[in-house]
Structure 1
Amino acid sequence: MNPTRFAAGHAAHADWRVALARALDALLLDLRAAGGHDHAGRDGLPEYTLGFCYLSDRFAADADEIVAELQRRLPGVHWVGTVGIGVAATGAEHFDEPALALMLAPLPRRAFRVFSGVQPLRADAEDFHPHTALVHADGRTPDLQELLPELAERTASGYLFGGLTASRGRSVQIADGVFDGGGLSGVAFSAEVGVVSRVTQGCQPIGPRRLVSRARDNFVITLDGRGALDCVMEDLGLPPDMALEPVAEALSNTLVGLHPGADAELVAPAAFGADMLVRNIIGLDPRAGVVAIGDEVEQGAWLIFCRRDPAAALADLRRVAREIRDELVDSDRVALGAVYVSCSGRGGPHFGRPAAELELIRDVLGDVALAGFFAGGEIAHSRLYGYTGVLTVFAAPR
């Protein structure tokens, strides 16, 4: 007997009631196509137990009512999710408009645990052993960069996937309830739930890799023994006597890729691997020749200046989607559903047409049920990324 796949639905409308009704109709239609009559597991069919709910920030103020209606319509389902600048679905996106995306999963209740500040994830629970976790986090949470590795250590694999809430208003997380601002929440999975996940980068290097020879906090002082500002101007092809204003303008469109110096291998300058962390340049001191970036940087790390590149981003997304597809084929598994978390900077007009990423994923993986959101930062492994996408597929043996 083939495993039962996930079911998904999405809709956009100015009125959350209309959008939710349409999304639920699509969800239940997809559920029946997946082989179920309802979520309750009647007629010997699998029980749909876990729900994913992603809202665009236009619906953030209505999150309590939306979740209450979902719980009323689908009793017994545990719900997780958050808010983004847009939401993602199978072959579609709704960016910067009132919309929501839903997905239901027929997982054994013993195979997952919803967690939040109210119900923390425990590594030592007798009846559940977390293997990996989907995480939603508020970017304003103090010490977030330390909390993610700490949470990853509570899982057997050390692998997290997810993203940061992105909202121009209320910041909301959903974890068997609605929570405002702060902390981490999500759902952990046991080893019984098969997961294949990849990070896709969205930038193109514009210069050689450079060694951080001197740094303090988030200030890059020297690279390869030279002033950091001299190096970035050289990589950008700017004359050394250029006025400050055009230099600042050029740097505002330039990003920094960081790679730990302790790693033996470093990606080639023409491509970024999953270990590359992309950060913004946030300031410069022309007198001292120092460049400030949006994260702490350690002496001995590798650094590459880069720019966002839509063509490179789509090519890399196709690569990781094919890797996931090939891994499923090689292990004789089938995709049941997927979560895609993309940087909010990659949505809408970035690729020149709507839903470019989601159409590509569907082209490679087929009509797999998918839900996700456009985030303020992406989570993979135990790290916080930027300008990336995190594609995670739930899989089971054929």
Structure 2
Amino acid sequence: MKLFPFGHATHPQWRMAAGLVLAQLRAQMSLPDFASQPRLALLYITDHYATQAQALLAHLREELPQVSDWAGTTGVGIAVNNAEYFDEPAMAVMLCDLPPEHYRVFSGAAPLPSNWTADAALVHADPATPDLAELVVEMAERTQQGYLFGGLTSSRTRSVQFALSGGDAAHGGVLEGGLSGVAFGPEVGWLSRVTQGCQPISPEREITEADQHVALQLANEPALETMLSDLQISLSEPQKAISVVRGTLVGLSPAGQAGVQRTGQLGSDVRVRHIVGLDPARQGLVIAEHLEPGMRLTFCRRNVQAARADLVRVCAEIREALEPEMLSIEAIHALSDDPLRAVPQPGQRIAGAVYVSCTGRGGPHFGGPSAELQIIRHALGDVPLVGFFAAGEIARHHLYGYTGVLTVFTQPTSPPTTP
């Protein structure tokens, strides 16, 4: 597996953007470090091109006949190595160098075969799909790792997804509604991490009484009263209280699981949700999530510094996981009679990456245009990367908000030579 060729461009006319992307892909495919005959393409477009999605995909397929399989979706913004295209016409394509037997493109029109074993899956989903959370869980259960990564289409026009396998073009490869994506077999190396964009501002408490979307008691105290105390506001000053509550979110954790780490950051399993209303009669808080007693809740706010620090952290975790496994001094001494045995184990390198971030995280939230993607490039290096800004992020079997999901495809590095 070699580096994944990728290209990206912006232009008011999609054909011009496609021409620029194709030129980049062809130039990279001629280089020795990049794959020359990849079969799987990931295609992300901004919603400016959504109404021309069918013609766009047909044109790319005609220009890249060796690429048989396509997957992707639409966002109000797309992500690439070191840059973001937000609220402008743009597209990005990455060609993945994977053997065809190691992956399967799927959609509602072409589900995964029941006899094919998936290790993990890249998933794109229409946010208007009924019972979406349950479908995500079901899809995760079909993978050996129980792990999905991806996000929900974000669009002001058509919520377009791309899913095409081989020559099966009955639906043209352009879909709306449901789930689609690529499932990967156990032979494909990957690493994935979730980064949160919020900072806890209160103690974490157990939800001790709830009624569907309403938290009634936190740690056996009235939920509304607890929130007012934590945020230091009063309903006697409604304008101030409304302003503060609108800027406050809640982080929810599964029952029996701490959501706030020792460092004070939100853990990767925390789902951030909006406070959508107050219930003064019952002293409750209305949350944009179905609540169950036993879940844990903390109040939080979006925070630029916390978001930057956590993104750096997950990039560092990925880099550490890719570093060669060095032997200890004791092991080197023990093997000193056989120098060949003391050679460090080869590590992994990144062949390509997919980054899905929340539409609320792009641009100014990280201090300036493309700052979020520049942090990733600084941490991981100049690696092929594509992705999009989503209406909700998918990781493991959860739907998230205000998060980033960074996934890298890995390949072994060549073992060190010995004299």
- TM-score, structure 1 length as denominator? 0.93
Change (3 A) 1:298 1:347: same
CA contact (8 A) 1:121 1:154 kept: no
Task: State the Cα deviation string for residues 91-137 of structure 1 (Å, max 9, x = none).
Answer: 11101111111101111010110000111123x32xx3211100000
Match of 1:62 in 2: 52
How far 1:222 sits from its partner (Å)? Answer: 1.0
Match of 1:230 in 2: 225
Which residue of 165, 175, 178 maps to 2:163?
175
Match of 1:212 in 2: 207
Q: Does 1:130 align with 2:124?
A: no
Change (3 A) 1:116 1:289: same
The code of the aligned residue for 1:139 comes to: P
Q: Does 1:299 align with 2:314?
A: no
CA contact (8 A) 2:118 2:144 kept: yes
Gaps of 5+ in 2: 165-171, 326-346, 414-419
Q: Does 1:84 align with 2:75?
A: yes
SS of the residue corresponding to residue 363 of structure 1 reads: helix
Q: Does 1:14 align with 2:9?
A: no
How far 1:349 sits from its partner (Å)? Answer: 2.4
Task: State the Cα deviation string for residues 251-280 of structure 1 (Å, max 9, x = none).
Answer: 111100001123378534721111111001
Q: Does 1:146 align with 2:134?
A: yes
Task: State the Cα deviation string for residues 206-250 of structure 1 (Å, max 9, x = none).
Answer: 111111111011111111112111111111111x35333432222
Task: State the Cα deviation string for residues 266-316 of structure 1 (Å, max 9, x = none).
Answer: 534721111111001111122322110111111111100000111111110
CA contact (8 A) 1:152 1:160 kept: yes
RMSD: 1.6
How far 1:180 sits from its partner (Å)? Answer: 3.9
Count residues with an aligned counterpart: 384
CA contact (8 A) 2:207 2:292 kept: yes
Q: Does 1:73 align with 2:88?
A: no
SS of the residue corresponding to residue 210 of structure 2 reads: strand
The code of the aligned residue for 1:68 comes to: A
Match of 2:338 in 1: none
Structure 1: distance between partners of 2:280 and 2:189 = 51
Match of 1:368 in 2: 383
List 4+ stretches of structure 1 deviating above 4 A.
none
Match of 1:44 in 2: none
Task: State the Cα deviation string for residues 36-56 of structure 1 (Å, max 9, x = none).
Answer: 5xx7x5xxxxx2011010001
Task: State the Cα deviation string for residues 60-109 of structure 1 (Å, max 9, x = none).
Answer: 11111110011101114211000011011111110111111110111101
Change (3 A) 1:20 1:397: same
Structure 2: distance between partners of 1:303 and 1:218 = 13
Which residue of 166, 177, 194 maps to 2:189?
194
Change (3 A) 1:73 1:361: same
The code of the aligned residue for 1:344 comes to: T
CA contact (8 A) 1:11 1:100 kept: yes
Gaps of 5+ in 1: 42-46
The code of the aligned residue for 2:286 comes to: A
The code of the aligned residue for 1:72 comes to: E
Structure 2: distance between partners of 1:51 and 1:359 = 24
Q: Does 1:327 align with 2:321?
A: yes
Change (3 A) 1:34 1:141: farther
CA contact (8 A) 2:213 2:287 kept: yes
Structure 2: distance between partners of 1:52 and 1:306 = 34
SS of the residue corresponding to residue 51 of structure 1 reads: strand
CA contact (8 A) 1:6 1:34 kept: no
Match of 1:249 in 2: 243
How far 1:27 sits from its partner (Å)? Answer: 2.1
The code of the aligned residue for 1:307 comes to: R
Structure 1: distance between partners of 2:321 and 2:187 = 18
How far 1:350 sits from its partner (Å)? Answer: 2.0
Q: Does 1:392 align with 2:407?
A: yes
How far 1:391 sits from its partner (Å)? Answer: 0.2
How far 1:152 sits from its partner (Å)? Answer: 0.9
SS of the residue corresponding to residue 129 of structure 1 reads: coil
Instruction: Please identify the structure whose Cα radius of gyration is greater.
Output: 2
The code of the aligned residue for 2:161 comes to: Q
Change (3 A) 1:241 1:113: closer
SS of the residue corresponding to residue 30 of structure 2 reads: helix
